[in-house]
Amino acid sequence: MPITKTLYLIRHAKSSWDDPSLSDFQRTLNARGLKDSPLMAKLIKGKNIIPDLIISSPAVRALSTAEIFADEFNYNKNEIISDERIYESAMHDLITTIREIKDENNNVMLFGHNPGLSNIANLLGNKFLPEFPTCAVVGIELKVNSWSEVERNCGKIILFEYPKKSLR
């Protein structure tokens, strides 16, 4: 029986458009994003999910979200892997990033952007997710022995949480 790898795809929290001098890459989290990130991190931690590895887009809003989650999990923020391929990512870049994960990591959190995360969730998962709200977390249990084996339909969606759902 294969070892299960679990990938948690996390879309960055809500970002601010208040400062027109900032590039898209430099946009920060807005007040709602700063509220939603710790809420979602606590929710996920409450499900006894602990990341072995955190990978993030280097864009400020994604990395900030990853750092807020890292704080909740007592994960060393200096050990977050920042991978520029996740920013404005094509499907191929995201799959390559996932396939390069070292196999000693079984629970991996990847922080990024749409439409890339939606596309990957729908490529790997067993059900279609029509939306991927900001600060949403999708957990996909992958039936693989190695991250290098990740391919279309190799996973089962085991978790889909987002801020407005958790407030119900």
Structure confidence by residue, pLDDT tens digits, 52-67: 999 999 999 999 999 9
**Res 4: pLDDT:** 82
Query: Does residue 105 carry a pLDDT above 90?
Result: yes
User: Quick one: which of 139, 143, 109 has its CA closest to 12?
Assistant: 109
**Res 164: pLDDT:** 85
**3-class SS of residue 7:** strand
Q: Residue 148 to residues 5, 39, 65: CA-CA distances in angstroms? A: 11, 32, 26
DSSP 12: P
Alpha-carbon torsion (106, 140, 156, 153), positive or negative: negative
Contact partners, residue 153, CB within 8 Å, separation at least 6: 123, 124, 125, 126
**Res 167: pLDDT:** 55
Percent of the chain exceeding pLDDT 90 equals 92
Task: Report the domain count for the chain.
Answer: 1
Range of the structural domain that residue 109 is part of: 4-166
What is the pLDDT averaged over residues 110-127? 96
Question: What integer best gives the mean pLDDT of the chain?
Answer: 94
CATH number of 150's domain: 3.40.50.1240
Indicate the pLDDT class of residue 168, thresholds 50, 70 and 90: very low
Q: Decide if 128 contacts 122 (C-beta within 8 A).
A: yes
Alpha-carbon torsion (50, 165, 11, 92), positive or negative: positive
Run of H or E residues at 160: strand 155-161
Query: Does residue 3 carry a pLDDT above 80?
Result: no
Separation CA 82–CA 148 (nearest Å): 19
Indicate the pLDDT class of residue 5, thresholds 50, 70 and 90: very high
**Res 78: pLDDT:** 97
At 68-85, the pLDDT tens digits run 999 999 999 999 999 999
**3-class SS of residue 35:** helix
**Res 86: pLDDT:** 96
**Res 166: pLDDT:** 58
